[in-house]
């Protein structure tokens, strides 16, 4: 146990000293201007590619969720036309239709947001 503690302390000291030396060397090293611009350009390209991927995933999620929400709204509007056990227990009323319209509007907004793909602007 004592030997492991000493080894851990020595390892920690070695890693800290090595990182300090490397940090000092990195701090004194200056990249040439054209290489510095290339790294900025590659970072911007990476960010643009990442934003495009995230935008595609979010729009796909918005399309799917919007369609499901609109489906639920249509179901709430038209549930009186079907013979469900739920209709016998809780008969449809005006509030089902009001809530159905609100849900359809929200689902339509989700689909519109997926169409616009305006997530990062």
> For the segment 1-48, what is each residue's pLDDT rounded down to a tens digit?
555 566 656 566 555 555 555 554 444 555 555 555 556 667 778 888
Pairwise CA distance, residues 112 & 65, whole Å: 12
Which is higher by pLDDT, 79 or 22? 79
Q: Output the pLDDT for position 100.
A: 95
Q: What's the burial of 73, exposed, middle or buried (CB within 10 Å: 0-12/13-18/19+)?
A: buried
Q: Output the pLDDT for position 73.
A: 96
| Distance in angstroms between the alpha carbons of the first and the last residue of the chain | 57
Mean pLDDT of the chain: 78
Averaged over 101-121, what is the pLDDT?
89
Share of the chain above pLDDT 90, in %: 31
Cβ-contact 100, 73 below 8 angstroms: yes
Share of the chain above pLDDT 70, in %: 64
């Amino acid at each position: 146990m004592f030997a492991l503690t000493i080894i851990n302390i020595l390892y920690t000291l070695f890693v800290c000293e090595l990182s300090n030396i490397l940090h000092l060397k990195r701090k004194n090293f200056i990249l040439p201007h054209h290489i510095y611009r290339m790294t900025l350009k590659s970072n911007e390209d990476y960010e643009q590619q990442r934003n495009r991927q995230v935008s595609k995933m979010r729009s796909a999620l918005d399309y799917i969720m919007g369609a499901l929400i609109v489906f639920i709204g249509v179901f709430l509007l038209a549930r009186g036309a079907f013979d469900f056990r739920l209709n016998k227990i809780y008969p449809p009323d005006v509030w089902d239709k009001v809530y159905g319209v609100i849900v359809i509007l929200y689902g339509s907004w989700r689909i519109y947001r997926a169409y616009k793909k305006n997530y990062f602007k």
